[in-house]
Structure 1
Amino acid sequence: MTGLRPCEFFLVRYVPDPVKGEFVNIGVLLRDLSGTGPAPAYVRFTRDWARVRCVDPGADIEMLEALEQELIQRVEERREDMPYVLKTLEDSLSNGLQITQAKACLAETIPAELTRLMQLYVESQRREAVARMSGRQKIARSMRGAFERTGVWNLMSKRIAASPYTHPGDPLRIDCGYRPNGVIRMFHAVSLDGDLDLAKVLAFGMPQLREGVARVENATLELTAIVEPWRELRGEEDAQEDGLAQYRFGVECMEAAEIRVLTTSDLPRLADTARVEMKL
Structure 2
Amino acid sequence: MSKVDFKFRPSETRGGADHGWLKTFHTFSFASYYDPKYESFGALRVINEDRVAPKTGFPTHPHREAEIFSYIISGELSHKDSMGNVETMKRGDVQMTSGGTGIAHSEYNDHKSKACHFLQIWALPNQSGLTPKYYARHFTDEQKKDKICEIVAPVGAAGVVDEREGDGPTPVHANLYFLTSLLSPSVPLTHILRPRTSRSGSGAAGKLFYAQLVQTSGYNTGPAQGKAQIRVEIQGKEAVLGEGDGVFVKGVQEGMRVGLENVGTGVGELVFFEIDA
TM-score interval, normalised by the smaller of the two chains: under 0.3
Q: Which has the higher strand share?
A: 2
Larger Rg: 1 or 2?
1
Which structure has greater helix proportion?
1
Q: Normalising by structure 1, what TM-score? A: 0.26
Which has the higher relative contact order, 1 or 2, with Cα contacts under 8 A spaced 6 or more apart?
2
TM-score, with structure 2 as normaliser: 0.26
